[in-house]
Amino acid sequence: KAGVTQTPRYLIKTRGQQVTLSCSPISGHRSVSWYQQTPGQGLQFLFEYFSETQRNKGNFPGRFSGRQFSNSRSEMNVSTLELGDSALYLCASSTDRGWTGGYTFGSGTRLTVV
């Protein structure tokens, strides 16, 4: 079966701009989580969506937002980009009870802010 698909793979943006990243989960998976990975902070949780509802949110500023559509696809948006937002953004999907089977991650979107 198809894995988790993230688009685009690479993105270069200028400070102050905004960006939208997309994630298509595995068919049948209704939970989508987003993570930011940087060399200094490692993998940090952004938020999780299930059935179009945000169930959990990490400690990131309000510039980071997301949503989930009825087909479980999810997008995350970062407004007013800062240099420190440069990172690998990963999404992961699972069935509702992720702890029984773990999560499947996409290959990520590499965002560079200049």
Partner 1 sequence: TQLLEQSPQFLSIQEGENLTVYCNSSSVFSSLQWYRQEPGEGPVLLVTVVTGGEVKKLKRLTFQFGDARKDSSLHITAAQPGDTGLYLCAGEGSWGKLQFGAGTQVVVTP
Q: List residues binding partner 1 (CB under 8 A).
A: 4, 31, 33, 35, 42-45, 48, 50, 55-56, 58, 90, 92, 94, 98-108, 110
Phi and psi for 71 in degrees, rounded to 5? -90, 15
Which is closer to partner 1, CB of 19 or CB of 106? Answer: 106
Instruction: Using the minimum distance from each CB to partner 1, give the nearer residue, 79 or 104.
Output: 104
DSSP 71: T
- Could you tell me the smallest distance in angstroms from the CB atom of residue 16 to partner 1? 27
Tell the smallest beta-carbon distance from residue 112 to partner 1 (Å). 13
Contact 66, 75 (CB under 8 A): yes
Residue appearing with tokens 């420190």: 84
Q: Min. distance of Cβ 84 from partner 1 in angstroms?
A: 18
CA 18 → CA 4, 38, 71, 90, distances in Å? 23, 19, 24, 18
